[in-house]
Amino acid sequence: MEQEYSELLAAYRQGEPEMPEDFVKTLPPLRTELTERETEQILKMHESGRLTFGQIGQKMGITSAKTRHAYKWHYHHKAMEVLSRMQEKLESEAEKEALWNRYFGTNMSSKRRYELLSQRLAEMERQKKENPEKTQEGGLLEAQAEEQGIPQASGNLEAREERPAECERAKSARRNAGGEQEKGDGAKEPQA
């Protein structure tokens, strides 16, 4: 083997062998980012054409993962822009943090988050025009979240302290439903 493939083995022993020049010339140029036009095409195909990310990727010559990432990133970027505009209108850091937790402390798609934030921003601007002296937004944010069914991120310490008791009650109820009954000292006694 040494005699027959000595040149090839020498190249491998010195590190990664060079690629043939013809192969390098046939490679497409490396694209690190999609253009704005390509991102718009992805959005249009996915939303109006109801194509999957895999189908869109095949049509555009990119992977489905890159297609999905571009779609989600577009809406994430737009949501961040809207959120920063909303936070500029709020006065206290607590209100800004509550706003962040309300929309980013929950599990929802980037598109849904952008839609909710856009609706909320439009409502804040409308309310400011109707009632310019009202600047407290905290209560309005909570009411809006409840109306739209947005789950609240648990930053409330009192709610966290209540949970262990609720868990113990739930465990006790499951045990009792399963045919076990607790004695006064905490030991379990099977029911007959």
120 vs 86: CA distance, rounded Å: 9
**pLDDT at 25 (0 to 100):** 82
Tokens of 150: 């947005």
pLDDT in tens, the chain (192 residues): 778 888 878 777 777 667 778 887 887 777 778 889 999 999 999 998 888 999 999 999 889 999 999 999 999 999 999 999 988 888 888 988 888 888 888 888 999 999 999 998 898 888 888 877 654 444 555 555 555 555 555 444 344 344 455 556 555 665 665 554 444 444 555 554
Q: Taken in order 169, 159, 114, 134, is the CA torsion positive or negative?
A: positive
